[in-house]
Amino acid sequence: MKRIFYFILTTLGALVFMYCPPPQPPSAPDAGLYHTYAEINDELQQLESTFPQLAKVVELGKSVENRSIRAIKISDNVAGNENEPQVVFVGGHHAREWISVDVPFLLAKYLLENYAGNARIKNLVDLGEIWILPMLNPDGHQYSVDKNRLWRKNRRNNGDGSYGVDLNRNYSYHWGGPGSSGDTFSETYRGTQAFSEPETQILRDFINNRSFRDMISFHNYSQLVLFPWGYTNSPAPDAALLGQLAGSMADSIFSIHGKRYTAQQSSALYIASGDATDWLYGTTSVPAFTLELRPRTSSPGFLLPESEIQPTFEENLPASLYLIEWSLAAAPVNRHP
């Protein structure tokens, strides 16, 4: 009797084992050919190791969930401060906009890998300081990889069951105005006050501690080159210059793969208050652009196939180089320091 009982028990045990295999260790979150937070950090570090004279990775601070926000500085004699014209490219304000991280990252890689063999690239790296901050919202990006591909905001716990502040509505210039929301559950929730979020504080302090001549903030989608203002339909004081720069960038994008990006005032897309470009331009008069990358329409919208990473980078390369070269030639503007 005892033996039969034992037999039944072990048979049952074996059956349970067969039908419930032990859990596999979870595989590392993956974004395919798009870079995750961990991958972007590894690759920035590799660029610094491969090009120690030209590249320096700088830790700027920590996100809400304590991830590092990093920028890479690209210049000759990169360790020193040569008082050269500075330009900045920022990606990844919005979590689901993965291409907005990969395009500035690939720009950094391209500048470094082509320095030795391309006289044009060497010239602008020698004469300027190019700062690239590919992922401003690492928590949101990781959440988009792990849990919800279409997550937009950061991962602030708002304390009422909702999460996230729209970082691109959290800057101080006309903060709280139309095109931003006071509803914590909204996709465009602006936060409890201007610069309530560590991520926007980090970009603010990073920019205020330097003297940039212009900025591109990458987003997607809709293929637009946007210039201030976003908070109002009134034209910016430098609308003619901003429009000309945006138009030239759109033309150079078109020249590569025939993709039409439209240059227009930001508010023509929709009114948005408290974004990064209005803040930089509004507080310093430094030209600042929101570059809405591929695709053009909601299909595929944020789900841009990874086969389009490289061509999207390729077409935005000449636009980025154009703006860097404009910065090297232009007189610095900083009317409201």
Residue ranges in contact with Zn ion by CB under 5 A: 94, 97, 219
Q: Which residue is nearest to Zn ion (CB)?
A: 219
Burial class (CB in 10 A: 0-12, 13-18, 19+), 39: middle
39 is catalytic: no
**Catalytic choice (39, 292, 314, 325):** 292
Which residue, 94 or 213, is less far from Zn ion as judged by CB? 94
Which residue, 94 or 155, is less far from Zn ion as judged by CB? 94
Which residue, 174 or 219, is less far from Zn ion as judged by CB? 219
Which residue, 97 or 139, is less far from Zn ion as judged by CB? 97
At its nearest, how many Å lie between Zn ion and the CB of residue 23?
Answer: 37
At its nearest, how many Å lie between Zn ion and the CB of residue 219?
Answer: 3
At its nearest, how many Å lie between Zn ion and the CB of residue 292?
Answer: 7
The arrangement of strands across the sheet holding 262-265 comes to: 55-62, 68-74, 129-133, 86-90, 212-220, 288-293, 224-227, 262-265
At its nearest, how many Å lie between Zn ion and the CB of residue 93?
Answer: 6
Active site residues per annotation: 292
